[in-house]
Chains A and B, each alone.
Chain A
C-alpha cells in the first residue's frame, strides 16, 4: 500500500467521523437535556432513590466503589458484552448463510421458511426456561437466546436483498453464460449488501435484548443478572446503572456495524436532512 493510499484511507475515516459528529450532535444534546431534566425532577421533588434514582446516583453506583456493595461491574459488563457480541456474530453468519441457502434452492425455501416463521412466533420469554432445562446455565444458553431474538430480521432482509436484482440484469448475465455461483457472488450478494446491513443493524439491538433476557433467567453473571438481583432486594440505583451500560453497548454495536457498512460500501451516502 502506498503512502498516498494510506493517507486517502485515513482521510475517509476522518471524514466519516466528522459526518457522524455533524449528523448526531443534535441527538446528543437532546439526550443530555433529557438526563438534566431527570436529575432536576428527582432533586426538586425529593424522589426516593428506591423509586427513581437520579442519573448522577446511577453513575455514582457505576463508577465509584460503594461502601456496602461490590457490584464487580467489570466482570458483569464483560460477560454481557461477550454474550451479545458472540450472539450477534453467530446470528449474522448463520442468518446470512441460511438466507443464501433459501434463495439458492426453492426446495430449501419451502422446507425452512415455514419453520423459521413458526420459531419466530414463539415468545422468547416462554422458550428461555425450556432452553435452560435442556442446556443448563452458561454462555451457550444465552448465545442461543440472543440468536433466537435476532436471526429472523437478518434472514428476511438478506433474502429480500438477494431477490431484489432487476430481471434485465439477470437476463443479461445468464445470456453471458454466468454460472449460478457466479450469479450469486458477482450479482446477488453485492446487490443484497444494503439489505444485509439493515438486517444486521436491527440484529444489534435484538441481540442485546436476547442476552439480557437470557441473563434474567439462565445466568449468575451479567448486567441482566445485576438487574434481577437488585430488583429482588429493592436496590434500585444499580438497575439504572446497568440500563445505561446496556444502552451504550447496544448503541456502540450499532455504530460499529454502520462503520463497517460505510467501509464496505463507501458509495452509499449517509442520509442527510435537507
Chain B
C-alpha cells in the first residue's frame, strides 16, 4: 500500500507540473485577444495571417490573435453565432442563409473577388457538361460551403439538386476520395488543383469552375457577429487593416509567405506555393487593382443575396443587413498584378 501511495503522489505531482506548463499565458495585458477561425484545414490562402503574425503586425495593432484551424463554412457560422470565435472565414452565401435561420452574423470583408468553387472528376467518367452531374455521386464534407450552396448552383445550371447522391467525407479525404473513385465527383476549390494533380494525371482530371457557369456570388469572406460589431468596432477595423495589408504582401511575395506558413504548420512548401499561385488568380480583377483588396461591391453582394433568396431560402431581411463595409481599411490596399 505504501508503494501504491508513493506512485499516486508521484502521479499527482506530475499531473500538476504538466498542467501548469500546459496552457502558458504569454501575452501582455495591453493586447486585445481575438479568436480568428479559418474556414478549413491549412491551405496556401491562409498564409497572410501567419505573415501578419510573424512580422508582428497584429501585435503592432494591439491585437493578440489566436488563429484556429477551421471545419468548413457551416462551422464558421456556428462558431461566430455561439461566440466560440470573434472573426471567421466563410463562403458568403452561408452566413446569409444562416441569418435567415436566426444566426446574427454579418460579412465585413471579402477575400476572393472571383468565385473559386469547383467540381472535380475523372475525364473518363463521362461527365462533359455541368448538366451531366445529375445522378452522380458527389463526395463532400457535411459543413462544406460547396454543399450548402449546391442547391443554388444546381438550379442555376438546370439540374435538380436532389438528383445527386452526397457521400460524406472528411475534409482531408477529398483528393483520395476522387483518386480512389469512391465518388464520381468531388467538390473542392479550384486552388486544390496542385493536390489533385499529385494523385490524378492532369490530362485525366476534369473540372468545372462554378463562376464560368454564371455563379456570381461572393466566395470566402470575413464574418463576425452583430454583437462584436456593436461592442468591438475598433478591433474589427484594426484586424481588417492588418489582414488586407498581409494579403497585399502575400500576393507580392508568395514564396516568402509559404516559407513563413511552413514555420507554423507541417506543409510541403512546393505544393503550397503552387496552391497559393492558383489562388492569386482569384484576386486579379480590376476591382482589386483599382479600388482595393476586400472591397464589397454593392452589385456583387446583391447578386449573392439574390442567389440565396431565389435558390435557397426566401430571405425576410434586406441585403443591407447581411454585410457591413465600414470596417474596411481606408485607404484600401491594392493589388498591382
- List residues of chain A with CB within 8 A of the CB of B271: 68, 233, 235
In the complex the two chains form, is B172's CB within 8 Å of A220's CB? Answer: no
Verify if B68 is at the interface (C-beta below 8 Å from A): yes
In the complex the two chains form, is B172's CB within 8 Å of A139's CB? Answer: no
* Interchain residue pairs A-B with the least CB separation, the first 10: A232-B172, A220-B69, A71-B266, A234-B198, A231-B172, A228-B172, A69-B268, A68-B270, A68-B269, A264-B3
Main secondary structure of the interface of B (DSSP, over half): helix
What are 30 contact pairs spanning A and B, CB under 8 A? A68-B270, A68-B271, A69-B269, A70-B269, A85-B18, A92-B11, A93-B8, A129-B71, A133-B84, A136-B35, A136-B84, A137-B68, A138-B23, A139-B23, A186-B1, A189-B1, A190-B1, A216-B170, A220-B67, A220-B68, A229-B41, A229-B172, A229-B266, A229-B267, A231-B173, A232-B172, A232-B174, A233-B267, A233-B271, A234-B176
- List residues of chain B with CB within 8 A of the CB of A233: 175, 195, 198, 267-268, 271-272
Distance in angstroms from B135 CB to nearest chain A CB is 28
Chain B, 166-200, CB within 8 A of any chain A CB: 170-176, 179, 195, 198-199
Chain A, 26-54, CB within 8 A of any chain B CB: 50
C-alpha spacing A71/B120, complex, angstroms: 29
Q: Which of A138, A220, A232 contacts B195 (CB 8 A)?
A: A232
Main secondary structure of the interface of A (DSSP, over half): helix
Chain A, 67-86, CB within 8 A of any chain B CB: 68-72, 76, 82, 85-86
Verify if B42 is at the interface (C-beta below 8 Å from A): yes
In the complex the two chains form, is A139's CB within 8 Å of B22's CB? Answer: yes
C-alpha spacing A62/B128, complex, angstroms: 43
Chain A, 116-166, CB within 8 A of any chain B CB: 129, 132-133, 136-139
In the complex the two chains form, is A82's CB within 8 Å of B18's CB? Answer: yes
In the complex the two chains form, is A235's CB within 8 Å of B268's CB? Answer: yes
Q: Which residue of A lies closest to B14 (CB)?
A: A89
- Per-position contact with A for B102-143: 1 when CB-CB < 8 Å, else 0? 000000000000000000000000000000000000000000
Distance in angstroms from A127 CB to nearest chain B CB is 15
Verify if A18 is at the interface (C-beta below 8 Å from B): no
Q: Which of B3, B4, B265, B270 contacts A229 (CB 8 A)?
A: B265
- List residues of chain A with CB within 8 A of the CB of B3: 263-264
Chain A, 245-270, CB within 8 A of any chain B CB: 260, 263-264
- Per-position contact with B for A85-96: 1 when CB-CB < 8 Å, else 0? 110011011000
- List residues of chain B with CB within 8 A of the CB of A220: 42, 67-69, 265
C-alpha spacing A133/B72, complex, angstroms: 13
C-alpha spacing A132/B172, complex, angstroms: 18
In the complex the two chains form, is B4's CB within 8 Å of A189's CB? Answer: yes
- Per-position contact with A for B255-283: 1 when CB-CB < 8 Å, else 0? 00000001101111111100000000000
